[in-house]
Structures are given as structure tokens and as C-alpha cells.
């Protein structure tokens, strides 16, 4: 829903990255292949200038009046010779009457890649946001703009950052947009922005955090290493929501069984929610059902898939029976898929009898296909639910409250061109064609023993399934320190957990707890 990510838009199936966002991802350039589309390579450009508006406000959070100062504008990104290369749009929120030099600060962004950060902003972070329907359902227009009780502004200052060719971020005249896009260029740009922000607003003494959603989680992992090695900046913590650090875990393919395994627990959660499981499973709690699915997925199911066509027919039937039992679809359907259920097809199959589909970003939400027999969704109901309300609320807030206007169009997503992963290099370029930043995060945590990570996961997220994040972090590193510094939090919601009011309350509390517990760590002793 972000970019529409995760923020994530490209052929959604191609980038099952989901970024994170309800984010529309851009297209992806396979490793070693040039971008031949022309999209995003060159830009007419916009004069790189810094124009910032400053306004003062008050928001009520947890029954307390929080006065804050908001700044909306652009920061110029320069080359080594000081020549402007582009401007990055940002909005910052700083709580008044606090020591800015030592108060926690969190830089947050969405994904796509190629998505603006409007989704995380309007969904969770901003002091003002649209009023959504129950459980995050699509509200009726026109939309109400109200105080956001879930904003973590009471515990941390906030900085929304829009990636290049998203929001109002633009390259300078004569500068190619591709110099800022692609995995490595994007990380470098964010690193340069964060260093510039710390300089400009004297925030070097602040406890520093990143909050990434969808592809923003992939960016966060690489950015932690970038800030550490290139900018000399250590972080107190990283918060991830809708996590994907290794694309292998979310891109099913005939030669990649692991993604099928990672999706199975989310299928179980979805079937449980829509009451499609056998009575004995349906009578369990969501947590109990998903634990049974985990145990089977990473046990007998993974073993069976690894054997490929060496399974006997009787063994295939046994596996199909168990998969059908846990996913709510028929045994014959599972056999027809060769025991490997594609997430896109599952979303059209589960409720086919009701002529309905389930959402990708939130599988609780249902939609309608024009052809009820199709194996492809006409649209993602969980993607369209917040889009209109978020855009309307954001523009009203930006123009009327923050007093920021420009002749440029605010790019929600889809303008960054094709996304190149071939430039990742180093740790991020491991694997057989699957981009990964897992090793970048491990290295950053190894170098900084005070760096902690919070992983937020929605049970009904079918873009970045929660088991994919679990598998990634179980293999992040094999020393106890990695396990001890990673904290998983689960929400009865989807990719954008904050859309569900109950989950938003829980997420806000988890953010506050995480920051409070990590902003002033004790010195380690031998």
C-alpha cells in the first residue's frame, strides 16, 4: 500500500516483496541485466533547493497534550565537490520542551521499492491521520482528518523520508534518477540524508532509530551497515514491519521450495479467520493454529518438498491431506499444485465457493473478481482500502496544517523506474539470484553489540508472511547475541498492522517499550 509496496507495485507477483507497503513496487532488473525500459533512467530534473516550512501544533496522545514542531521541506543532496545532485523531501515532528540534542529520533520510510512514505506516515507515525473504518476497512468519502492516538511522538521525534522519485524527492537537472535508485544507490542516498539531517538539526547526541516497512525493512538492514561503515553512525535500534530481508523466502518458484514453506502458516491463519478449517482446528486459537502450521511447515512439509519427485504417490497423498487440512482448500487442489500452493492462486481459491477473493496485504479483507473462475485477482481489496483516505488526508494535512505547497505532483509510487539489485555487492549480493540484506544486518549487529531489532509481523500478511521473517532471523547468526537482541511482535492484522485499531494500539505500545529499553543501554563488561 505504499507505493503500491512495501510499500511495496511491480507486477505484484514479481515482487512478492510486498513491500511493504501497500506499496506499489517498481519493476525489477534481474542481476547482470541493464534497465532497457528507459523509465527512471533520465530526468528533466528539478532545481535542488532547500525550502522548509515550520509550524507549531498540539496533539493528544494517551490523554496527554503533546506540543510539537513540524518541519516540511527538502534537503539538498550533494556530490563530493558540493554540487547539488537532487533534493529529498521530508517531514519532521519534534516534541517541544524536550532536549533535542539527546531525545530519541526515528527515521521512517516505506518500500515498494519506489513507494513514498505516506503509508507509514498516515497509518501510524503522523500526529494527524485519516479516520479508517472498523478493523482498517475502507471508509466512506469524504474522509475525516483526526488526531492520531497511535503516533509514537510522545516517546520519539520522527522524520518521514521519501525516496528519490517518490513524494516530492527529485534529482537535479541533468542528473539521472538511476543515480539514486536501485538497491545500493538508494541506501547511499538515505545514508547521506540522515547524516545531513543530524548535522543540520544538531541531533548527533540523540539515540537513533530506523523504522522500515516492507521494502523499507530491506533498506533498513543495508542502511544500518551503510551508516556504520560510511557515515560513522551507530544506531540504538531498528524497527521492522512487514519484513523481507531475503527475497528467496517470499518468491515461490519450481526450484525454490522455501517460499512455499514460509507461506503455509499464513495460509493457516487466513483459513482460520474465514472459518475454512476442520472443526478441531477451527476451535483452537489463532496462535495455536499457526503454531501447528509452523511445526508442520518446517518439519515434514519441508522434508517432503525437498524430496521432489522422489515421493511415492502414497506419500504425496499424505502430504496433500495435511496441507489441505491446514489451509482450507481441497486435497485434490493441493495435489494439482504439486503440493506447492502459489500465494496468488491461494487468494482466489480459498473463497471460490463464495465467489470471493482475499487480500494480499491483509487476507482478512475480501474482494470480487469479474470472473469467479479466474486464478488471478482483479484487484487487491486490502490495497485499495486505505489509498484514497490516506492521500486525501495527507494532502489536507500538508497544505492546511503544515503550510507546505509546491507545483510538483506528490508521487505515491510507480515513478522510480526499474529497480536494479546487481549493484548490491558484498554481503547483499549472496544467493542464486535472490537479493538479500541479511548478512548486512548481521555484520552491523556484530560490530555494534548495542544494536537491537524489533520485528513486527501480521498474521494475515500475504505479501511478506511472518514465517519468512522468522526463518530469516533464525539464520541471521549462530551466536546467542543475535537471538537475544531480536524481539518479535505479532499482530492480528495484515502487512500494515496499524490499519487495525486494536493492532495499532499494540504496535504503538511495542514501539514505546522498544525505545525505552534501548535508548540508554548499559555499557557491556567482559
Which residue range(s) make up the domain with 137? Answer: 28-248+388-518
Convert the pLDDT of each residue in 295-351 to its tens digit: 999 999 999 999 999 999 999 999 999 999 999 999 999 999 999 999 999 999 999
pLDDT at site 427: 52
- Residue 240 falls inside a structural domain: yes
Which sign does the torsion angle of CA 266, 269, 274, 278 carry? positive
345/287 Cα distance (integer angstroms): 25
User: What's the whole-number average pLDDT of the chain?
Assistant: 90
Cβ distance 131 to 499 under 8 Å?
Answer: no
- Residue 57 falls inside a structural domain: yes
How many beta carbons lie within 10 A of that of residue 287, not counting itself? 12
Tell me: pLDDT of 23 over 80.
no
71/117 Cα distance (integer angstroms): 16
pLDDT at site 418: 87
Tell me: pLDDT of 1 over 50.
no
Convert the pLDDT of each residue in 105-160 to its tens digit: 999 999 999 999 999 999 999 999 998 888 777 888 988 899 999 999 999 999 99
Write down the pTM of the prediction: 0.92
Q: How much of the chain, in percent, has pLDDT values that exceed 90?
A: 81
Of the listed ranges 270-274, 427-431, 453-457, 495-499, the least confidently predicted one is: 427-431
When pLDDT is averaged across residues 54-58 and rounded to a whole number, the result is 98
Convert the pLDDT of each residue in 197-248 to its tens digit: 999 999 999 999 999 999 999 999 999 999 999 999 999 999 999 999 999 9
- Residue 469 falls inside a structural domain: yes
Tell me: pLDDT of 464 over 50.
yes
Element (H, E) at 158: strand 157-161
27/20 Cα distance (integer angstroms): 15
When pLDDT is averaged across residues 92-113 and rounded to a whole number, the result is 95
Of the listed ranges 150-159, 426-435, 473-482, the least confidently predicted one is: 426-435
Cis before 142? omega within 30? yes
Phi and psi angles of residue 123, each rounded to the nearest 5 degrees, phi first: -80, -35
Tell me: pLDDT of 26 over 70.
no
pLDDT at site 329: 98
Residue the block writes with cell 486435497: 331
The residues facing 238 across adjacent strands are: 210, 453
pLDDT at site 43: 57
168/411 Cα distance (integer angstroms): 7
- Residue 149 falls inside a structural domain: yes
- Residue 33 falls inside a structural domain: yes
431/32 Cα distance (integer angstroms): 14
Confidence of residue 28 (pLDDT cuts 50, 70, 90): very low
When pLDDT is averaged across residues 423-444 and rounded to a whole number, the result is 76
Task: Give how many domains the chain has, as a whole number.
Answer: 1
Which phi-psi region, left, alpha or beta, contains residue 112 (left: φ > 0; alpha: ψ -120 to 50)?
Answer: left
Can you give the CATH number for the domain in which 220 is found?
Answer: 3.40.50.1820
How many beta carbons lie within 10 A of that of residue 356, not counting itself? 16
When pLDDT is averaged across residues 17-44 and rounded to a whole number, the result is 42
116/350 Cα distance (integer angstroms): 32
Cite the beta strand spans of 384-465 per DSSP E: 419-420, 452-458
In the three-class reduction of DSSP (H, G, I as helix; E, B as strand; rest coil), residue 460 is classed as coil
Query: Comparing C-alpha atoms, which of 292, 374, 360, 276 is closest to residue 324?
Result: 276
- Residue 10 falls inside a structural domain: no
pLDDT at site 497: 95
- Dmax over CA atoms of the chain, in Å, equals 70
11/152 Cα distance (integer angstroms): 33
- Residue 268 falls inside a structural domain: no
pLDDT at site 49: 92
When pLDDT is averaged across residues 66-87 and rounded to a whole number, the result is 97
pLDDT at site 473: 98
318/314 Cα distance (integer angstroms): 6
- Residue 180 falls inside a structural domain: yes
Tell me: pLDDT of 272 over 50.
yes
Residue the block writes with cell 536494479: 420
Amino acid at each position: 500500500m505504499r507505493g503500491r509496496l512495501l510499500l511495496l507495485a511491480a507486477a505484484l507477483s514479481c515482487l512478492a516483496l510486498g513491500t511493504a507497503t501497500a506499496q506499489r513496487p517498481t519493476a525489477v532488473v534481474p542481476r547482470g541485466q541493464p534497465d532497457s525500459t528507459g523509465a527512471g533512467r533520465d530526468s528533466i530534473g528539478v532545481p535542488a533547493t532547500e525550502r522548509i516550512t515550520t509550524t507549531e501544533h498540539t496533539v493528544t496522545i494517551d490523554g496527554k497534550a503533546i506540543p510539537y514542531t513540524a518541519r516540511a521541506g527538502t534537503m539538498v543532496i550533494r556530490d563530493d565537490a558540493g554540487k547539488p545532485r537532487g533534493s529529498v523531501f521530508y517531514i519532521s515532528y519534534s516534541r517541544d520542551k524536550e532536549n533535542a540534542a539527546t531525545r530519541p529520533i526515528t527515521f521512517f520510510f516505506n518500500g515498494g521499492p519506489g513507494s513514498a512514505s505516506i503509508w507509514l506516515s498516515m497509518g501510524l507515525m503522523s500526529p494527524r491521520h485519516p479516520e479508517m473504518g472498523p478493523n482498517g476497512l475502507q471508509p466512506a468519502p469524504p474522509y475525516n482528518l483526526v488526531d492520531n492516538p497511535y503516533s509514537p511522538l510522545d516517546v520519539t521525534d520522527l522524520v518521514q523520508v521519501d525516496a528519490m522519485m517518490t513524494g516530492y524527492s527529485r534529482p537535479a537537472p541533468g542528473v539521472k534518477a538511476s543515480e539514486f535508485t536501485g538497491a545500493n544507490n538508494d541506501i547511499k542516498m538515505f545514508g547521506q540524508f540522515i547524516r545531513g539531517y543530524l548535522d543540520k538539526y544538531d541531533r548527533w547526541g540523540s539515540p537513533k532509530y530506523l523504522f522500515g516497512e516492507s521494502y523499507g525493512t530491506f533498506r533498513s538492514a543495508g542502511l544500518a551497515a551503510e551508516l556504520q561503515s560510511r557515515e560513522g553512525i551507530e544506531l540504538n535500534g531498528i524497527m521492522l514491519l512487514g519484513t523481507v530481508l531475503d527475497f528467496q523466502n517470499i518468491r515461490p518458484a519450481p526450484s525454490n521450495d522455501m517460499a512455499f514453506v514460509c507461506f503455509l502458516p499464513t495460509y493457516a491463519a487466513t483459513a482460520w479467520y474465514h472459518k475454512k478449517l476442520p472443526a478441531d482446528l477451527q476451535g483452537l486459537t489463532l496462535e495455536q493454529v499457526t503454531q501447528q502450521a509452523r511445526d508442520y511447515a518446517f518439519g515434514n512439509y519441508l522434508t517432503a518438498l525437498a524430496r521432489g519427485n522422489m515421493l511415492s504417490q502414497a506419500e504425496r497423498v499424505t502430504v496433500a491431506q495435511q496441507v489441505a487440512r491446514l489451509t482450507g482448500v481441497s486435497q485434490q487442489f493441493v495435489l494439482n499444485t504439486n503440493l506447492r500452493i502459489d500465494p496468488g492462486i491461494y487468494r482466489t481459491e480459498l473463497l471460490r465457493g463464495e465467489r470471493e477473493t482475499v487480500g494480499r496485504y491483509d487476507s482478512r479483507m475480501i474482494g470480487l473478481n469479474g470472473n469467479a473462475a479466474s486464478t488471478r485477482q482483479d484487484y487487491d481489496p486490502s490495497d485499495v482500502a486505505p489509498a484514497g483516505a490516506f492521500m486525501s488526508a495527507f494532502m489536507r494535512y500538508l497544505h492546511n496544517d503544515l503550510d507546505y505547497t509546491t507545483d510538483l505532483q506528490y508521487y505515491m509510487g510507480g515513478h522510480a523506474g526499474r529497480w536494479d539489485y546487481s549493484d548490491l555487492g558484498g554481503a547483499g549480493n549472496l544467493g542464486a539470484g535472490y537479493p538479500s540484506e541479511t548478512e548486512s544486518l548481521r555484520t552491523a549487529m556484530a560490530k555494534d553489540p548495542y544494536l537491537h531489532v524489533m520485528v513486527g509481523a501480521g498474521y494475515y500478511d500475504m505479501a511478506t508472511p511472518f514465517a519468512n521473517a522468522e526463518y530469516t532471523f533464525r539464520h541471521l547468526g549462530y551466536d546467542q547475541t543475535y537471538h537475544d537482541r531480536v524481539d518479535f511482535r505479532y499482530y492480528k492484522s495484515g502487512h500494515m498492522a496499524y490499519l487495525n485499531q486494536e493492532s495499532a494500539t499494540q504496535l504503538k505500545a511495542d514501539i514505546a517499550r522498544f525505545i525505552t529499553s534501548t535508548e540508554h543501554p548499559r555499557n557491556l563488561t567482559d
